[in-house]
Amino acid sequence: MGLRDKYAIVGVGYTPQGRVPGRTALSFHVEACANAIADAGLNKKDIDGLMCYRAFPPGAGETPVTPYLVAQHLGLSPTYMSMDANCSRSHIQHAVGMLDSGLCRYVVLSYGHNASSSDSMRRMLLERNGDDAVFGHFGAAAGYALAARRAMHTFRTGPETWKHIAVGQRRWANLNPQAMMHQRTMSFDDYYNSGWVVEPFRLFDNCLISDGGRALVITSAERARDLKHRPVLIIGMGQHNPSCEVHQASHLAGPTGAKKAAETAFGMAGITVDDVDACEIYDCFTYTVEITLQDYGFFGPGEGEDWFKDGTIEPGGRMPVNTSGGQLSEAYYMGLTPLSEAAMQLMGRCGSRQLGPATNTKEPEVILCSDNGGVLQTHTCIILRRS
Amino acid sequence: MKRYLKPLPEVNGDNKEFWIGCKAHELRFQKCRECGHVRWPPSMICPACHSRETEWIVSSGKGTMYSFVIYHVAFHEGFKDDVPYAVADVELEEGPRLLTNIVDCPHENITCDMPVQVVWEDRTDDFSLPKFRPTAP
């Protein structure tokens, strides 16, 4: 495909993260975008495209986040803007499409939420999804738990596998001063003692609930050459959206949308999983990491426990995964937790968690990223390369 | 009768026939007259062949357990006296799967693929809810 190597991530914006009371969701979008624009070495006048991840229901006293509000508060008047709704996760494809068509020159992609300190998550949990609530079925954890239970029946998996993911990612978070769990270690015993939420998931199978935001700036590789950081090239993109409600889905135990999305992305990039140096995987739950890597072809069904054990994904491991701590141990900013970490790693800006000599791992050329939405209804695979 | 604190079904143009059927203790699903696909949730057209020709059939109420979870936390106050409770995805003989609850079964005995059958809970004057229990041997 002609899009390989043509577009790049050139800036990353962070905000205070974790529990940051007294702030609106909008304020995190605005701060993350402003920081991403400055990080790229751009001026707000340069930005002509603004894309926002979906917003959860607003907390008490807040207005729903919309792209025009984000633009308004940034003093932008973009020529194109959009926001996805529950949860297409097509943003990188979308941004590249707008850039390649010439309709945009510099696109900012943003997420922000006050999930920890507002009542938004409570409202989100009680939002109706058909008549699921009649039977006491609420929220994403239980949906993914249904998938995980079916997987436990279909192939060898379960807490014995997932503990390696929870603990492995925590070890990365312990190297990341920005991670919510930076100062808290986790042992296998801690994992098992963390208590059931929706069985078969314990608390430590669940991602964090975070205040904060994250944003990226995307532009052409050509324009990227004049900017501040070493550009991170987008070399592969693929998406597949099985779309079925979780209770009708036959893909809960795989293959999920990840398989076809990865085939498309690897086809575009002209590489295989053997060329991947690290992975930044959307990890709303531990099982999500297992089924994604399984569908990407790193191991076969039921081989996950053997693949993960002995620290495969940890600092010093042979396939680092979720090197910021991920959504399980750093912070939850939808697909921007994995994508921004991949960009930072490939720019070489990760300090004591930097892949390479600092963590006794291979210096990364290629990082494989994922994003998925709903309960395995949508899946995006993105492959990034150091320029 | 104690006040019912749990959410009730929300009836709309698509699912009305299903909930009327439940009141009569019948599990009704749409079946495509052209390709025979039995679908859930209810919909305007057949997702398999896009035919608009549809009939409502009554399910045998027999099926197997596709997957299940045990809630140890109540996300809604109506369920706080129920935890731990089981939510299940039951695959009916006719093909569709229904999100439901498992009753009359110790949680440690629930397994995927176990045979189950519908039991009815009459909840309000308007609604009976389809729940499932292990099929009697």
Task: Give mean pLDDT, residues B75-90.
Answer: 96
**What are the CB-based long-range contacts (under 8 Å, 24+) for A72-77?**
A73/A26, A73/A29, A73/A30, A74/A30, A74/A33, A74/A34, A74/A44, A74/A47, A75/A44, A76/A44, A76/A47, A76/A50
How large a percentage of chain A has pLDDT more than 70?
A: 100
Q: Where are the beta strands (DSSP E) in A134-282?
A: 196-199, 201-202, 211-220, 232-240, 278-280
Q: What is the pLDDT of residues A179-237, one digit of tens each?
A: 999 999 999 999 999 999 999 999 999 999 999 999 999 999 999 999 999 999 999 99
Residue B4 within a domain: no
What's the mean per-residue pLDDT of chain A? 96
pLDDT at residue A129, rounded to an integer:
84
Closest CA to A261 of A382, A87, A95: A382
Query: Residue range B89-104: average pLDDT?
Result: 96
**DSSP assignment string, A49-83:** EEEE---PPPPTT-PPP-HHHHHHHHT---SEEEE
Interface mutation target, options B4, B89, B126, chain A, most CBs of A under 10 Å: B89
In whole angstroms, give the CA distance from residue A91 to residue A51: 7
CATH architecture of A7-121+211-224: 3-Layer(aba) Sandwich (3.40)
Confidence of residue B2 (pLDDT cuts 50, 70, 90): low
Return the SS3 of A121.
helix
Q: Where are the alpha helices (DSSP H) in B33-122?
A: none
Rounded percentage of chain B residues whose pLDDT exceeds 90: 96
Q: Answer yes or no: do A247 and B97 touch at CB < 8 A.
A: yes
How does pLDDT run across A328-339, given as a tens digit for each residue? 999 999 999 999
> Hey, are the CB atoms on A133 and B7 less than 8 Å from each other?
yes
Q: Residue B117 belongs to what domain range?
A: 16-134
Class for the domain spanning A137-206+232-386? alpha beta
Q: To probe the interface with B, which of A124, A135, A252, A287 has the most B CB atoms within 10 Å?
A: A135
For residue A80, is it left (φ>0), alpha (ψ between -120 and 50) or beta? beta
Establish if B9 touches chain A: CB-CB under 8 angstroms: yes
pLDDT value at position B1?
A: 52
Has residue A86 got a pLDDT over 90?
no
- Structure confidence at residue B36 (pLDDT): 98
pLDDT at A245: 79
Residue B7 in any domain: the answer is no
B22 in any annotated domain: yes
A1 pLDDT above the threshold of 60: no
Specify the pLDDT at position A148. Answer: 97
In tens, the pLDDT along A115-150 reads 999 999 999 988 888 899 999 999 999 999 999 999
Closest CA–CA distance from residue B119 to any residue of chain A (Å): 14
Does the residue B6 lie in any domain? no
| Collapsed DSSP state (helix, strand, coil) of residue B14 | coil
B50 domain residue, yes or no: yes
What does the pLDDT read at residue A130? 87
Residue range A291-318: mean pLDDT, rounded: 97
pLDDT digits (tens, 9 = 90+) for A13-30: 999 999 999 999 999 999
Task: For B81, name the nearest residue in chain A, comparing CA atoms only.
Answer: A136
Contact (CB<8Å) A247/B70: no
Considering the domain boundaries, does residue B1 fall inside one? no
Q: For residue A375, how many C-alpha atoms fall within 13 Å in the half-sphere facing its CB?
A: 22
Instruction: Closest CB to B76: pick one of A138, A152, A198.
Output: A138
Helix, strand, coil percentages, rounded to 5, for chain B = 10, 35, 55
| Residue pairs spanning A and B at CB distance below 8 A | 92
pLDDT for residue A361 is more than 80:
yes
Q: Structurally, how many domains does chain B consist of?
A: 1
Q: Which amino acid is at A156?
A: R
Predicted local confidence at residue B77, as pLDDT: 93
Residue A244 pLDDT > 90, yes or no? no
pLDDT at B53 over 80: yes
Mean pLDDT of chain B: 96
Average pLDDT of span B77-100: 96
> Do A221 and A230 touch, CB atoms closer than 8 A?
no
CATH code for position B88: 2.40.50.840
- Extract the tokens encoding B85: 């409770």
pLDDT at B137 over 80: no
CA-CA distance, A268 to A285, in Å (whole number)?
Answer: 28
CB nearest to A132's CB, from B78, B82, B99: B99
The per-residue pLDDT for range A335-352, each reduced to its tens digit, is 999 999 999 999 999 999
What residue segments make up the domains of chain A, in order of their start? 7-121+211-224, 137-206+232-386
Strand order in the sheet with B54-58: B38-39, B28-32, B54-58
Phi, psi at residue A66, to the nearest 5°? -130, 160
| Overall pTM > 0.95 | yes
> CB under 8 Å to A226, separation ≥6 — which residues?
none
Q: What percentage of residues in chain B have a pLDDT greater than 70?
A: 99
Arithmetic mean of pLDDT, A249-278: 95
